[in-house]
C-alpha cells in the first residue's frame, strides 16, 4: 500500500473550514438548531461525506464515499490541529513578518 502521509511524525486532523455555527439572536434560532442537529446526525454526516469526499469523525458510518487519503488509518498518530493550543498563530505570524522584513532590506 502506498504511503499516504509524507510526515514520518504523523499526519494531522483538523476541522478546517467545516464548521457549523449560528447567530446569537437570529430571527429563527430554532431553524438553525434543527439544521445543526440534522447536519451532525448520522444521515447528515453521510450526506456531507458523499458531497465533500471528506471524512466525518463519526465512527458509525461507512467511509466508502471518502477519498482514501482523507480516512485516518488505525494505528497512526494524528494531531487535532483545531484544539486551542494549536490555534494561536501569533508566533507564526511574527516569524513570517521577520522573514519578510529581512527580504525587504
Cell numbers linked to 74: 488505525
pTM metric for this prediction: 0.58
Tell me the angle at which helices 29-39 and 42-52 cross, rounded to the nearest 10 degrees: 70
Beta 11-13 vs 78-80: how paired, if at all? parallel
Stretch 81-96: mean pLDDT: 80
pLDDT per residue as tens digits for the range 28-43: 888 988 988 999 999 9
Return the pLDDT at 39: 92
Q: Cβ(95)–Cβ(89) under 8 Å?
A: no
pLDDT at position 1 over 60: no
More confident position, 33 or 64: 64
Q: Which residue has the higher pLDDT, 82 or 54?
A: 54
Amino acid at each position: 500500500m502506498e504511503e499516504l502521509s509524507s510526515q514520518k511524525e504523523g499526519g494531522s486532523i483538523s476541522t478546517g473550514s467545516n464548521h457549523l455555527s449560528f447567530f446569537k439572536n437570529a430571527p429563527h434560532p430554532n431553524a438553525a438548531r434543527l439544521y445543526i442537529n440534522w447536519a451532525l446526525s448520522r444521515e447528515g454526516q453521510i450526506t456531507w461525506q458523499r458531497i465533500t469526499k471528506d471524512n466525518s469523525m463519526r465512527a458509525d458510518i461507512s467511509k466508502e464515499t471518502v477519498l482514501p487519503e482523507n480516512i485516518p488509518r488505525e494505528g497512526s498518530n494524528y494531531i487535532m490541529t483545531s484544539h486551542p493550543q494549536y490555534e494561536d498563530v501569533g508566533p507564526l505570524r511574527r516569524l513570517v513578518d521577520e522573514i519578510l522584513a529581512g527580504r525587504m532590506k
